[in-house]
Amino acid sequence: MTVVAEPTTPPDGPRALGSDEWPLLDHLVSTVFRPEMFHDYPQLFNASNRANLRVIREGGQLVTHVGFTIRPAVLLGPVITVACIGAVATAPEARGRGLGSVCVQDAFDHASASGVDLMMISGGRGLYTRVGCREVGADHRFTLEAGNAASRRAVTRPGLTLVPLTAHDIPALGAIHEREAVRFVRPRDDWERAFDCGIVMNTPSDFWGVSDGSGTVAYVVVHRPDRVRNRKDGDVLFVRVVEHAGSRDAVAHALSALIDQYGAGRAEVHVGGHDADLGRVLRHAGLQGVPEPSSGTIRVIDFPGLMGKVRPLIAGRIGHDLASRLVFEADERAGNARGGFTIGDGSRTIRLADHGALGPWLFGDPGDTHPEPDGDRSLAAELALALPLPALWYGVNYV
């Protein structure tokens, strides 16, 4: 049996980080992760985000931290509010006492009070899955091998070239990004921070544009193949595209061009279920996607609020009459981990038993084994035509 030492001082929190507690937080996340955390996660660790850095203090030290950012996100038109959790840490000597779990729930409650609809978590351990967070996304990962000459020829477009991008290119990047149908609505500050720290999705990254000679038609952000974490000497270099936007022909072209650029053995890209164009270009080039969830896990925070916002998208798929009759109810208040969900149209109802069933039902899952709700079969079948909603991919917004 493991005996966990009881603290001598009662825990203070969870609560927002105090304005004088930055050095204590730096110490905690430096100890648990690495000393560069403040540098690598500027979206989280900046003064304007202090209220969203949730901490527990015991005596002179912070023992637990759960941080999150809040951003709007576009889901094929509707705009929802998303919180992204990261840098979750408990000091080694304080672990196993439930502090992490308490602080995670506090983050959900605080996000809920801030009007957040959906939480994304950059992890999938028991701490999160126990409270209903799930992998979602009917997405695929495509891999282009350096030796696959036929597919490389098929994606290569004469006249397109890779161009390294710098912070000077932020206006051009932003203009390409803002035309994406599924994306975080990104303040310019986030681009500036990403170029400044050079870290995207936890890894040193390069930013490449694809130019057709007259201008940038697409961009890709890639992990630097020689700096991928946990890479061992002798491992084959590979290019991981962690964000793309713009012309899908140009993105596909970039996969092959990047293999040459880095002398890599393969390049891979995550393609959202909604991104039919990139999927089509890559399949036409002879590549097969492997089912892959979006990064991390999600939990809905405010079910009626979220569904109210995406109602126009649902109406586009199943018609105005049914969409406008739908009533979305949660058993518990927004932010709560417990309870189930009911959807009714006045005469028929269906039920999702809990958060674990709700997330994959709404946003799809990689196996495409759509969870079946309980209740009226005909309503379930009609709603299946309205789903899945697109799963968001972090890219530059990863924390």
Binding site for ligand COA (CB under 6 A): 32, 64, 88-90, 95-101, 123, 125-127, 130
* Alpha-helical regions (H) of 269-390: 276-284, 303-318, 320-325, 355-363, 377-384
CA–CA separation, 188 and 319 (whole Å): 36
CA–CA separation, 279 and 355 (whole Å): 30
Residue whose C-alpha is closest to residue 31's, from 9, 60, 63: 63
Q: Report, in Å, the least distance between residue 121 CB and ligand COA.
A: 7
DSSP-assigned beta bridge partners for residue 245: 219
State which residue, 86 or 340, has the beta carbon closest to ligand COA.
86
Q: Report, in Å, the least distance between residue 101 CB and ligand COA.
A: 3
Residue whose C-alpha is closest to residue 269's, from 260, 281, 72, 326: 281
Q: How many residues does the chain have?
A: 399
State which residue, 9 or 161, has the beta carbon closest to ligand COA.
9
Q: Report, in Å, the least distance between residue 135 CB and ligand COA.
A: 13
Q: Report, in Å, the least distance between residue 84 CB and ligand COA.
A: 12
Q: Report, in Å, the least distance between residue 4 CB and ligand COA.
A: 9
Find out whether 117 and 299 touch, Cβ atoms under 8 Å: no
Q: Report, in Å, the least distance between residue 63 CB and ligand COA.
A: 8
DSSP string computed for 190-238: HHHHHHHH-EETTEEEEEEEEE-SSSEEEEEEEE-GGG-TTPPTTSPPE
CA-CA-CA-CA torsion sign (113, 115, 117, 120): negative
Find out whether 24 and 12 touch, Cβ atoms under 8 Å: no
CA-CA-CA-CA torsion sign (238, 240, 246, 249): positive
State which residue, 110 or 140, has the beta carbon closest to ligand COA.
110
State which residue, 101 or 151, has the beta carbon closest to ligand COA.
101
SS3 384: helix
State which residue, 63 or 170, has the beta carbon closest to ligand COA.
63
Q: Report, in Å, the least distance between residue 90 CB and ligand COA.
A: 3
State which residue, 100 or 272, has the beta carbon closest to ligand COA.
100
State which residue, 97 or 317, has the beta carbon closest to ligand COA.
97
State which residue, 28 or 306, has the beta carbon closest to ligand COA.
28
Q: Report, in Å, the least distance between residue 374 CB and ligand COA.
A: 26
